[in-house]
Structure 1
Amino acid sequence: MGYRNDLLSSRSIIRHGSYALITPEGLVNNIIPHFEKCRISVVASPKLGASFVQYLINMEAGGRNTKGFGGDGIETFVYVVEGSLDVIVDGIKYELTEGGYVYTPPSLTMIIENNSKEGTKFVLYKQRYIPADGIKEPWVVSNNVKNLEAIFYDDMEDVTLIDLLPTDLSFDMNFHILTFQPGGSHPFIETHVQEHGAYLLSGEGMYNLDNNWVSVKKGDFIWMGPYVQQATYAIGYEPFSYVYSKDCNRDPEI
């Protein structure tokens, strides 16, 4: 990267235990065992205050993880932002392209490989699964957002939502894609127990994080902790869209 060519500055905001905005300009590489030919940024972890770990990964052609990722009570999810990726779960290969994803339940692991001639960029996620009495374990899910129906969010025609995982009690989490047309917004500022990890896929917006309005755009990552006030509206000339996680379907422990 070499010498700087401007003042040292950043749009990133870190509020441990509350929320974070992490911009791509400040990401650094992390060396993690069993990942080859990868540039890995850990954007959320318990050190920040999150209950999950989320990575942004650029994998070169021929890159892979050489040991199963997840399992032993840890559920995992991978979403392809750019390029293509092969994901092997329980001996079955899922060939993913942009918008493709795989969810792997806590009893299984995933192997990730880039067998193409180009680099690929993807979101990787893991969290500890919370079982529930009388509820069966979740199952492998793979699809592409291009195959899924978008529904109007709270009956607003300029905001759409796509569920990536089944709305079934076996799943204690989900991933969604929320898209706002220019000028679209949440209907109100939300305050809830769920936390989110959101990767911004396109466009620009103004985001309310703990009642602080900040500007965000494609390539940013946002972590929103439990009960942090949150809402957004789209600005600019193209749709504002992001893929985000949500914990769900479980009664909070005391």
Structure 2
Amino acid sequence: MTYHVPRGGLPPQTALTTDRAVFTGSYAVLPARTMSDITASLLPHWKGTRLWVLARPLSGFAETFAQYLMEVAPGGGSDAPEPDAGAEGVLFVVGGQVELTLGGTVHTLTSGGYAYLAAGTTWSLHNRTGEKASFHWIRKAYQRADGVGLPDSFVTHARDVAGVTMTDTGGAWSTQRFVDPSDLRHDMHVNIVTLQPGASIPFPETHVMEHGLFVLQGKALYLLNTDWVEVEAGDFMWLRAFCPQACYAGGPGPFSYLLYKDVNRHVRLTL
């Protein structure tokens, strides 16, 4: 599987300014072109690394999570990547190769590699190769629940996680679930959703879960609240809780996206 990898750089001076970027009270779209050199950020304790912040807790924007698209140069990485002991994380590699040390065990992650990092876990990450590596890093403050144990960290690969076909779609719509949905230790899911050409989400989903969607491959027409928006590989979408959503996969190949959602916890009644 080939996933979108950011290119950086800048559009030429001859390019049109008009684009599909939009920010509303119920959703936002960050097209792939917005991930340029001038929008990249740096982090303390990360060497040879830049990133694009796709989502962060912000009034009127994401409430439950942050999502980074990381680019690590050869020889780059960090021995102290996560500053918040209460943060859990998911890493999903889209290009190149990284070396993840987790609990004293070294894991080599290539494109499609996935790691869940439980809150309080000690880990480090380095690029030991001669090519740059790119991965998504999704972070969330873990919400403990009385009487429910803490989840364990784990490492896997997308090729080892079978897609679960959605009911009555004949395989046209499937989800690779990296965590058992009935495992209440987990308060977030980060999955891969794939729709084959011509497949659709045939009704406007409207629910309490907040979403972050990064398009890994393909293109589609996506319903966001009351607007139909064209999206393609490299685009990021944020959907507020209860934002209506549906889509048609455009082809000619599959349409896949990395999907974040918050799950399995009571609604907070006070701030």
Give the TM-score, by structure 1 length. 0.95
SS of the residue aligned with 1:25? helix
**In the alignment, which residue of structure 2 is the partner of 1:72?**
85
CA distance in 2, matches of 1:182, 1:231: 15
1:178 matches 2:193 = yes
Question: Is contact 2:93–2:110 with CA below 8 Å preserved after alignment?
Answer: yes
Aligned residues with identical type, % of pairs: 33
Question: Is contact 1:52–1:128 with CA below 8 Å preserved after alignment?
Answer: yes
Deviates more, 1:243-252 or 1:109-118: 109-118
Counterpart amino acid of residue 89 in structure 1: L
Counterpart amino acid of residue 7 in structure 1: L
TM alignment of 1:217-228, pairs within 5 A: 217-228=232-243
**In the alignment, which residue of structure 2 is the partner of 1:43?**
54
Counterpart amino acid of residue 49 in structure 1: F
**In the alignment, which residue of structure 1 is the partner of 2:103?**
90
**In the alignment, which residue of structure 2 is the partner of 1:54?**
67
CA distance in 1, matches of 2:29, 2:126: 29
CA distance in 1, matches of 2:69, 2:174: 24
CA distance in 1, matches of 2:44, 2:83: 13
Residue 3 of structure 1 and its aligned partner are, at CA, apart by 5.5
Question: Is contact 1:164–1:175 with CA below 8 Å preserved after alignment?
Answer: yes
**In the alignment, which residue of structure 2 is the partner of 1:12?**
21
Tell me which of 120, 142, 145 is aligned to 1:132: 145
1:148 matches 2:156 = no
CA distance in 2, matches of 1:244, 1:130: 19
CA distance 1:70–1:190, shift in 2 (3 Å): farther
Question: Is contact 1:70–1:76 with CA below 8 Å preserved after alignment?
Answer: no
Counterpart amino acid of residue 230 in structure 1: Q
1:160 matches 2:174 = yes
Counterpart amino acid of residue 133 in structure 2: T
**In the alignment, which residue of structure 1 is the partner of 2:4?**
none
SS of the residue aligned with 1:188? strand
Counterpart amino acid of residue 130 in structure 2: K
Deviations 1:83-131 (A, max 9, x none): 1111122222221111011111112133121111111111011010011
Counterpart amino acid of residue 162 in structure 1: Q
Flag as ranges the 4+ runs of structure 1 deviating above 4 A: none
Deviates more, 1:140-149 or 1:158-167: 158-167
Counterpart amino acid of residue 86 in structure 1: E
Tell me which of 198, 215, 224 is aligned to 1:209: 224
Question: Is contact 1:57–1:122 with CA below 8 Å preserved after alignment?
Answer: yes
Question: Is contact 1:10–1:26 with CA below 8 Å preserved after alignment?
Answer: no
Structure 1 alignment gaps of length 5 or more: none
Tell me which of 21, 30, 35 is aligned to 1:22: 30
Counterpart amino acid of residue 61 in structure 2: G
Question: Is contact 1:37–1:60 with CA below 8 Å preserved after alignment?
Answer: yes
Give the TM-score, by structure 2 length. 0.89
Deviations 1:150-170 (A, max 9, x none): 111123121111101233100
Question: Is contact 2:213–2:236 with CA below 8 Å preserved after alignment?
Answer: yes
CA distance in 2, matches of 1:200, 1:160: 15
Structure 2 alignment gaps of length 5 or more: 1-9
CA distance in 2, matches of 1:187, 1:30: 38
**In the alignment, which residue of structure 1 is the partner of 2:44?**
33
CA distance in 2, matches of 1:137, 1:109: 15
Counterpart amino acid of residue 22 in structure 2: I
